[in-house]
């Protein structure tokens, strides 16, 4: 299922340009907001595969897995692949522990929330920087659902983004107002 919207640029990307005493609105086009949804986690291998292909074709790609941890990962240990793909995972995430450990250990739970928030702050900076041709925010809707990332903060950041290419968001439970701002919605089925 693919839905489209006419929301191709944010309001903050309207600049007034004066040419020959005529004021003209210059629109800096951003890429699309694409949403990939699936009824279960871990079904976004096609999105990750496409990010590798884009990097191999010379596009600067940032792949951020907000809810997946890695061995000594985090912002300071991001992987650089194909010369153009930066792959970052949370330094401490929910999938590294069993749920009982997280429920019973307040310090561990706080550490996971803090590392996910640190990663989100990095993503916000990258979305506003204009340095990347494509940004993938894998499982961001799970972070929103768990109230680690504020939905309104995500919407505001997407509206003010500065990226020539697409922003791809993945997740299972997508808030309606985010669905409405998407240019493309793809539902992955088994």
3-state secondary structure of 57: coil
Residue 135: what are its φ and ψ, rounded to 5°?
A: -130, 125
pLDDT > 50? residue 6: no
Domains and CATH numbers, the chain: 11-187 (3.40.50.300)
Percent of the chain with pLDDT over 70: 80
Give the pLDDT of residue 173: 83
Q: Which residue has the tokens 């990095």?
A: 122
Look at residue 20 in the predicted model and tell me its pLDDT: 57
Q: 166 and 50 in contact (C-beta within 8 Å)?
A: no
| pLDDT the model gives residue 153 | 96
Determine the 3-state secondary structure of 147 from DSSP.
coil
Split at pLDDT 50, 70, 90, the class of 74 is confident
Mean pLDDT over residues 5-21, rounded?
Answer: 47
């Amino acid at each position: 299922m693919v839905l489209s919207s006419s929301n191709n640029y944010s309001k903050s990307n309207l600049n007034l340009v004066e040419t020959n005493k005529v004021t003209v609105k210059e629109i800096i086009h951003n890429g699309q907001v694409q949403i990939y949804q699936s009824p279960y986690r871990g079904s976004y291998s096609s999105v990750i595969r496409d990010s590798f292909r884009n990097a191999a074709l010379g596009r600067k790609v940032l792949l951020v897995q907000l809810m997946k941890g890695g061995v000594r990962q985090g912002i300071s240990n991001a992987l650089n692949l194909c010369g153009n793909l930066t792959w970052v995972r949370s330094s401490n995430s929910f999938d590294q522990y069993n749920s009982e450990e997280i429920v019973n250990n307040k310090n561990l739970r706080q550490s996971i929330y803090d590392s996910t928030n640190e990663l989100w702050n990095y993503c916000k900076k990258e979305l506003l920087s204009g340095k990347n041709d494509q940004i993938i925010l894998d499982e961001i809707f799970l972070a929103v659902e768990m109230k680690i990332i504020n939905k309104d903060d995500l919407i505001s950041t997407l509206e003010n983004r500065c990226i020539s290419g697409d922003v791809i968001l993945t997740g299972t439970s997508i808030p309606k107002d985010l669905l409405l701002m998407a240019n493309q919605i793809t539902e992955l089925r088994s």
